């Protein structure tokens, strides 16, 4: 009996070759996407952890200017009860390096270390290395290769201050924290000779220390980071410094890769759902077409179970056969995805085949297909042999005569198209669902792409970075605050704002405390509910903190800084990806309640439209010489985003292409099935004088309104609900509200492209009717 | 030849049709020369596989012959493209099939109008005409809105005939129109065809039934793709005596029917 089921299965497949091929392609694409998405999701975390173990990346990293306070910082770390080991090495911080990155001149911060220094943590490791090296050899993070196209042995030039530097690239390093543009400075290595030459050339101003700490109870204790930050602040430091926990830094690097992986998985699941809908459509069509055969089989003693088994075998074997090339293609595609990930996280993605993901994808797809095939073919049980032999006479449904020709004023072809359109409601529903799902995915990606490449404000709001041209840090503390007014009065300046950050804590949980004199002046608004603080007793906390501490607007919350604790009233909830969402905002006066001698040390400068940052910096230096450390924030933001734009663009291109391919495949399948099923009808129509074009138009217009409906639905859903989906993707990061920028022309263009392709494909496939002679159609 | 009309409707010259099946060729029609006239009720007879239906569809522009030409009122339709043939058919031909072939997704009236609207610009006039014709063959308004599956075979075939006639074609081609009907339904259908022929409508009908063939005034007998017999009869009337049937019977017997 088993071989009989096999024979039945084989005859089903042979009878519907093109439908089987279409399904094969759909499942293959679904498995391919699912496999890639799962591989990335499953491996991303462990891959970063493996690199951390390999490079012995410290739990806490800090860099700060070399000065007389360094000993105090060291003794703090040394005396800290949970410190397992620590080391401090000399470094050079170049906060505003002008360099060509990804084809654009941009500003990046360089933290330069001596490759030949002894270190046990944060080891120097290159993917490949150029020998021999000399004082002009530089070792750059891997993103310069993966994200910007530099190669081993290339010459790289950059400008710092008014000095031009040129080096030969001797290797690309793997660095989990300072290997990307998301965590502040990039870690660069020079060999001993080159390092000393640079140090001598740039002088004391760039001399920093790089501190690495390994903790023995890393999960529990978070205080060292805060204490160190407080001490650095407390010692009157105003220059750039950073104290970072590895967990936070890693999370920051991972955010966008996680988003992309999530999009990939969601899209893959949409593909799986489409395959399932197509399978259901095929099985029901198959049953309808083969009713007589089913009747004969039943009459001859086949059980319903045997006939159903043949359907199950048919679809499961197709899904398994399609999964194999799907998984194999993913092996070929994975290096490209891996390169995108490497460019985003700064670590070389291993291109090994992930058996677990492949098996998981196969399992998910096969089980779902088995389920749908079973549910769809179950109705065979209810069909009696006699009903089947009478070709479904009992199932015949006399429907309403839509658009009666006698009373319609519509064009004849159009009226006939509408008649068939209203006859195939189940199929229409399927097409609307598929097209809407695909259109939504494309629109969503296109909107995402626009937010990374066009209007980046929403993404920056999410990240929490202030959209300013320049950040000016006073070199010396305690300066007369009137100097800020002087900067604001310069003709190039549109406005200035204050936004500083301190590490504080709420009931032992560390967070970034932002301080501003006027939050309304800021360009990046992070509050999604309530408002920013205005008075000294007010605070806006992030949703993550509110949830963690179970507080909401109107509650009081205790904030501790430098040993002082004050209660603040929560006035608003904010969100941002940066700092893992552990952020709160108070006013300048509010800060003075924690630190009475608090004075502002840095300002954001927003230049007027058309003003050049470099020219302004020069003028500023002429006017107020030696006062400032300047960071070109806008350039840095752009270069940070640029590491993700390539990935988002590729994703958009892939999803749009897959959408168009799948819509075409579905149309091909539907129209082919439709021609086959309605062969007799088309034969009669041809016989009574309808020509090929009439019939092509009828076929196309019996489907096109459904496609239009799907596209419109998908488009509207994309336009109105992309924000919600994005929030869903980011919900684990404490994002509760997003308002993505939408380019209506782009959305409409994309919809138009899908419609044009759908129309062209429909007409093209419907053209098949031309080949069939009317005689064959009627006589078949 | 019809006594009323001797105008040529169509001619075939060296008409041939060959079917290929897996490398073997079957010559179904062989060098047929044939002339059909306006107003005639031409019957094509022959044993199974003799090529009756193939001839009917080849001369009606429904299928393309392999060789030779078909001149319909002097116009060579074998040179036409498929689309030109479609336009030719809608203007000049009506078809009645053994399997009836009404569109089962459309009502009876819509079946007729789907053909009418292709040609007639005056939609209201076409609807009126369709209703009148349907009523003339006993299909009243209670039937118009029904789907083919909801009416009897005889009713469906009468509706099929009206669909064939709605554009006043120059020729109606009928392929065993009573083949799938019971005797009384078959007679009803033949009555309709006889009636319209009396009004001048040319009909070319394939049948293998003697009683059905009696309706014609010209009988062509086909054997192995060649016309081997061509009999002229007086026009059919309900009062025709037994001699008419005997004449046909002996013609067929002579041909080995």
pLDDT digits (tens, 9 = 90+) for A595-642: 888 888 889 999 999 898 888 988 988 888 878 878 788 877 777 777
Pick the residue of B63, B83, B85, B86 with the most A CBs within 10 A to test the interface with A by mutation.
B86
Q: Once rounded to an integer, what is the mean pLDDT over residues A222-236? A: 77
Q: Do A398 and B149 touch (CB under 8 A)?
A: yes
The answer on pLDDT for A221 being more than 60 is no
pLDDT of residue B194: 93
Q: Which tops the pLDDT comparison, A353 or B141?
A: B141
Pick the residue of A684, A692, A773, A776 with the most B CBs within 10 A to test the interface with B by mutation.
A684
Show Cβ contacts of residue B107 under 8 Å, excluding neighbours closer than 6 positions: A401, A404, B144, B145, B146, B147
Q: Once rounded to an integer, what is the mean pLDDT over residues A157-165? A: 87
CATH number of the domain that B216 lies in?
3.40.50.300
Chain A residues interacting with chain B (CB cutoff of 8 angstroms): 396, 398, 401, 404-406, 412, 416, 419-420, 423, 680-681, 683-694, 770, 773-775, 778
pLDDT of residue B2: 45
Question: Which residue in B63, B91, B163 is closest to A773 by CB distance?
Answer: B63
For chain A, the first-to-last Cα distance in angstroms comes to 32
Q: Name the nearest CA neighbour of A774 among A688, A710, A696, A715.
A: A688
Q: Once rounded to an integer, what is the mean pLDDT over residues A524-547? A: 91
Check if the beta carbon of residue A420 is closer than 8 Å to that of residue B103.
no
Count A/B contacts: CB-CB distance under 8 Å: 90
Q: Is residue B65 part of a domain?
A: no
**Is residue A109 classed exposed, middle or buried when 0-12, 13-18 and 19+ CB atoms within 10 A define those classes?**
buried
The answer on pLDDT for A35 being more than 80 is yes
Q: What is the mean pLDDT of chain B?
A: 89
The interaxial angle of helices A692-730 and A679-687, nearest 10 deg, is: 140
Q: With beta carbons under 8 A apart, name residues in chain B contacting A687.
A: 62, 89, 95, 101
Q: Do B95 and A688 touch (CB under 8 A)?
A: yes
User: How far is Cα A412 from Cα A418, in angstroms, rounded to an integer?
Assistant: 10
The interaxial angle of helices A633-677 and A744-766, nearest 10 deg, is: 20
Q: With beta carbons under 8 A apart, name residues in chain B contacting A416.
A: 114
Q: What percent of chain A has pLDDT over 70?
A: 94
User: How far is Cα B59 from Cα B252, in angstroms, rounded to an integer?
Assistant: 23
Q: With beta carbons under 8 A apart, name residues in chain A contacting B91.
A: 689
pLDDT of residue B213: 93
Pick the residue of B55, B65, B99, B103 with the most A CBs within 10 A to test the interface with A by mutation.
B103
Torsion of Cα atoms, B146 then B151 then B154 then B156, to 10°: 40
Question: Which residue in B62, B130, B150 is closest to A687 by CB distance?
Answer: B62
pLDDT digits (tens, 9 = 90+) for A4-33: 677 777 777 777 788 888 889 888 988 988
User: How far is Cα A251 from Cα A45, in angstroms, rounded to an integer?
Assistant: 9
Q: Is residue B158 part of a domain?
A: yes
Check if the beta carbon of residue A322 is closer than 8 Å to that of residue A316.
no
Q: What is the C-alpha R_g of chain A?
A: 32
- Give the pLDDT band of residue A496 (cuts 50, 70, 90): very high
CA dist list (Å): A443 to A160, A244, A267, A703: 42, 37, 12, 22
Which three-class secondary structure state does DSSP give residue B181?
A: coil
Q: Do A774 and B150 touch (CB under 8 A)?
A: no
Q: What are B105's two structure tokens?
A: 């997704």
ipTM of the complex: 0.75
pLDDT digits (tens, 9 = 90+) for A715-765: 999 999 888 888 887 777 777 878 888 888 989 999 999 899 888 988 888
Q: What is the mean pLDDT of chain A?
A: 84
- DSSP code per residue over A553-615: TT-EEEEEETTEEEEEEEEEEE--SGGGG-EEEEEHHHHHHH-TT----EEEEEEPTT--HHH
User: How far is Cα A380 from Cα A373, in angstroms, rounded to an integer?
Assistant: 12
pLDDT of residue A222: 58
The alpha-carbon gap from B93 to the nearest alpha carbon of chain A, in Å, equals 8
Q: What are B75's two structure tokens?
A: 């116009």
Nearest-by-CA chain A residue for B104: A681
pLDDT digits (tens, 9 = 90+) for A42-86: 888 788 888 899 999 999 999 988 888 889 899 999 988 888 899
Q: Do B87 and A692 touch (CB under 8 A)?
A: no
- Give the pLDDT band of residue A250 (cuts 50, 70, 90): confident
The interaxial angle of helices B82-92 and B108-119, nearest 10 deg, is: 110
Q: Do A774 and B110 touch (CB under 8 A)?
A: no
Q: Once rounded to an integer, what is the mean pLDDT over residues B201-225? A: 93
The answer on pLDDT for B257 being more than 70 is yes
Q: Is residue B123 part of a domain?
A: yes
Check if the beta carbon of residue A436 is closer than 8 Å to that of residue A714.
yes
Q: Once rounded to an integer, what is the mean pLDDT over residues B35-46? A: 95
Nearest-by-CA chain A residue for B127: A406
CA dist list (Å): B32 to A196, A388, B57, B69, B257: 105, 45, 14, 10, 20
The answer on pLDDT for A218 being more than 60 is no
Q: With beta carbons under 8 A apart, name residues in chain A contacting B115.
A: 688-689
Nearest-by-CA chain A residue for B90: A689
Q: Once rounded to an integer, what is the mean pLDDT over residues A526-553? A: 91
Q: Which tops the pLDDT comparison, A397 or B160?
A: B160
Q: Is residue B141 part of a domain?
A: yes
User: How far is Cα A82 from Cα A84, in angstroms, rounded to an integer?
Assistant: 6
Q: Do B63 and A774 touch (CB under 8 A)?
A: yes
Q: Which of A116-130, A409-423, A544-558, B158-172 has the lowest mean pLDDT?
A: A409-423
Q: Do A685 and B114 touch (CB under 8 A)?
A: yes
Q: Is residue B142 part of a domain?
A: yes
Check if the beta carbon of residue A451 is closer than 8 Å to that of residue A763.
no
User: How far is Cα A316 from Cα A674, in angstroms, rounded to an integer?
Assistant: 24
The residues pairing with A61 across neighbouring beta strands, listed in sequence order, are A212, A244
Q: Name the nearest CA neighbour of A228 among A515, A560, A502, A473.
A: A502
The answer on pLDDT for A217 being more than 60 is yes
Nearest-by-CA chain A residue for B87: A689
Task: Count the domains in chain B.
Answer: 1
The answer on pLDDT for A391 being more than 70 is no
Q: What are A264's two structure tokens?
A: 């990939």
pLDDT of residue A397: 52
Q: Once rounded to an integer, what is the mean pLDDT over residues A321-350? A: 86
Instruction: Tell me the residue range of the domain where B249 lies.
Output: 38-60+81-255
Q: Is residue B247 part of a domain?
A: yes
Residue located via tokens 């740039």: A202
Which three-class secondary structure state does DSSP give residue A184?
A: coil
Q: Is residue B251 part of a domain?
A: yes
Q: Is residue B134 part of a domain?
A: yes
pLDDT of residue B38: 94
Q: Which of A95-99, A319-323, A531-535, B215-219 has the lowest mean pLDDT?
A: A95-99
pLDDT of residue A239: 58
Show Cβ contacts of residue A576 under 8 Å, excluding neighbours closer than 6 positions: A461, A462, A463, A464, A526, A542, A583, A734, A735
Q: Do A689 and B118 touch (CB under 8 A)?
A: yes
Check if the beta carbon of residue B83 is closer than 8 Å to that of residue A774.
no
User: How far is Cα A252 from Cα A512, in angstroms, rounded to an integer?
Assistant: 14
- DSSP code per residue over A369-400: HHHHHHHHHGGGGG--HHHHHTTTGGG-----
Q: With beta carbons under 8 A apart, name residues in chain B contacting A423.
A: 105
């Amino acid at each position: 009996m088993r071989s009989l089921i096999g024979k039945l299965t084989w005859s089903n497949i042979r009878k519907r070759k093109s439908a089987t091929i279409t399904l094969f392609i759909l499942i293959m694409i679904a498995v391919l996407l699912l496999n890639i998405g799962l591989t990335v999701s499953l491996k991303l975390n462990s891959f970063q952890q493996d690199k951390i173990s390999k490079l012995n990346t410290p739990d806490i990293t800090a860099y700060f200017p070399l000065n007389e306070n360094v000993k105090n910082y060291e003794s703090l770390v040394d005396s800290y009860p949970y410190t397992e080991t620590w080391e401090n090495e000399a470094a050079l911080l170049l906060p505003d390096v002008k360099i060509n990155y990804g084809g654009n001149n941009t500003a990046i911060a360089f933290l330069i270390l001596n490759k030949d220094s002894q270190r046990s943590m944060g080891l120097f490791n290159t993917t490949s290395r150029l020998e021999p090296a000399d004082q002009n050899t530089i070792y750059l993070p891997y993103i310069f290769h993966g994200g910007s196209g530099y190669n081993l042995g290339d010459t790289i030039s950059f400008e710092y201050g008014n000095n031009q530097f040129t080096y030969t690239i001797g290797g690309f390093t793997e660095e989990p924290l300072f290997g990307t543009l998301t965590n502040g400075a990039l870690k660069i290595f020079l060999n001993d000779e080159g390092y000393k030459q640079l140090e001598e050339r740039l002088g004391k101003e760039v001399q920093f220390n790089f501190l690495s700490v390994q903790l023995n109870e890393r999960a529990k204790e978070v205080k060292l980071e805060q204490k160190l930050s407080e001490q650095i602040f407390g010692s009157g430091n105003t220059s750039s410094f950073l104290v970072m926990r590895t967990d936070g830094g890693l999370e920051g690097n991972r955010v966008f890769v996680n988003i992309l992986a999530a999009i990939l998985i969601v899209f893959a699941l949409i593909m799986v759902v489409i395959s399932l809908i197509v399978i259901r459509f095929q099985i029901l069509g198959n049953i309808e077409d083969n009713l007589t055969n089913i009747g004969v089989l039943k009459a001859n003693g086949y059980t319903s179970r045997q006939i159903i088994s043949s359907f199950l075998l048919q679809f499961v074997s197709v899904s398994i056969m399609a999964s194999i090339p799907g998984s194999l293609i993913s092996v070929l595609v994975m290096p490209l995805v891996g390169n995108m990930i490497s460019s985003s996280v700064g670590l070389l993605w291993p291109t090994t085949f992930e058996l677990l993901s492949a098996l998981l994808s196969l399992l998910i797809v096969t089980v779902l297909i088995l389920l749908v095939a079973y549910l769809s073919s179950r109705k065979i049980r209810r069909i009696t042999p006699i009903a089947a032999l009478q070709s479904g006479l009992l199932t015949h449904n006399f429907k309403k005569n839509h658009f009666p020709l006698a009373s319609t004023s519509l064009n004849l072809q159009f009226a006939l198209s509408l008649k068939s359109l209203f006859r195939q409601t189940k199929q229409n529903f399927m097409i609307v669902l598929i097209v809407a799902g695909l259109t939504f995915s494309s629109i969503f990606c296109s909107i995402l792409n626009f937010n990374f490449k066009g209007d980046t404000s929403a993404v920056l709001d999410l990240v929490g970075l202030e959209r300013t041209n320049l950040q000016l840090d006073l070199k010396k503390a305690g300066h007369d605050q009137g100097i800020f007014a002087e900067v604001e009065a310069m003709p190039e300046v549109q406005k200035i704002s204050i936004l500083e950050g301190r590490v504080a804590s709420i009931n032992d949980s560390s967070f970034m405390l932002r301080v501003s004199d006027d939050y309304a002046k800021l360009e990046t608004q992070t509050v999604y509910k309530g408002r920013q603080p205005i008075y000294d007793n007010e605070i806006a906390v992030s949703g993550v903190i509110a949830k963690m501490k179970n507080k909401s607007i109107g509650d009081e919350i205790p904030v501790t800084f430098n040993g002082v604790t004050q209660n603040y009233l929560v006035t608003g909830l904010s969100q941002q990806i940066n700092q893992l969402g552990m952020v709160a905002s108070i006013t300048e006066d509010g800060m003075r309640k924690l630190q009475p001698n608090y004075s502002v040390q840095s300002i954001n400068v927003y230049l007027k439209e058309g003003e050049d940052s470099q020219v302004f910096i020069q003028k500023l230096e002429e006017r107020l010489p030696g006062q400032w450390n300047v960071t070109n924030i806008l350039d840095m933001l752009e270069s940070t985003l640029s590491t993700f734009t390539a990935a988002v663009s590729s994703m958009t291109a892939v999803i749009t292409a897959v959408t168009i391919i799948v819509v075409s495949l579905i149309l091909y399948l539907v129209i082919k099935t439709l021609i086959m099923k309605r062969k007799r009808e088309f034969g009669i129509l041809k016989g009574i004088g309808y020509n090929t074009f009439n019939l092509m138009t009828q076929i196309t217009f019996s489907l096109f309104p459904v496609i239009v409906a799907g596209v419109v639905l998908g488009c509207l859903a994309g336009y109105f609900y992309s924000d919600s989906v994005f929030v869903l993707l980011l919900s684990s990061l404490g994002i509760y509200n997003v308002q993505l920028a939408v380019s209506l022309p782009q959305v409409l263009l994309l919809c138009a492209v899908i419609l044009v392709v759908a129309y062209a494909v429909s007409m093209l496939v419907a053209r098949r009717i031309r080949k069939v002679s009317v005689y064959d159609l009627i006589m078949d | 030849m019809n006594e009323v009309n001797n105008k040529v409707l169509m001619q075939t010259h060296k008409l041939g049709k060959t079917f290929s099946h897996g490398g073997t060729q079957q010559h179904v029609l062989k060098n047929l020369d044939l002339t059909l006239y306006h107003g005639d009720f031409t019957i094509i007879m022959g044993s199974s596989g003799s090529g009756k239906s193939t001839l009917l569809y080849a001369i009606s522009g429904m299928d393309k012959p392999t060789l030779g030409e078909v001149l319909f009122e002097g116009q060579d339709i074998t040179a036409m493209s498929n689309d030109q043939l479609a336009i030719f058919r809608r203007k000049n031909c009506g078809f009645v099939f053994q399997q009836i072939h009404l569109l089962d997704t459309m009502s009876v009236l819509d079946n007729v109008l789907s053909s009418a609207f292709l040609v007639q610009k005056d939609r209201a006039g076409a609807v009126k005409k369709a209703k009148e014709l349907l009523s003339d063959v006993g299909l009243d308004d209670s039937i118009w809105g029904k789907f083919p599956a909801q009416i009897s075979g005889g009713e469906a075939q009468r509706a099929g005939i009206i669909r064939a006639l709605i554009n006043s074609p120059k020729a109606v081609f009928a392929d065993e129109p009573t083949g799938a009907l019971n005797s009384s339904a078959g007679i009803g259908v033949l009555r309709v065809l006889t009636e319209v022929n009396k009004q001048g409508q040319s009909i070319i009908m394939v049948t293998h039934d003697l009683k059905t063939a009696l309706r014609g005034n010209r009988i062509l007998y086909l054997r192995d793709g060649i016309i081997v017999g061509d009999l002229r009869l007086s026009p059919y009337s309900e009062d025709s005596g037994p001699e008419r049937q005997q004449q046909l019977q002996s013609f067929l017997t002579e041909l080995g029917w």
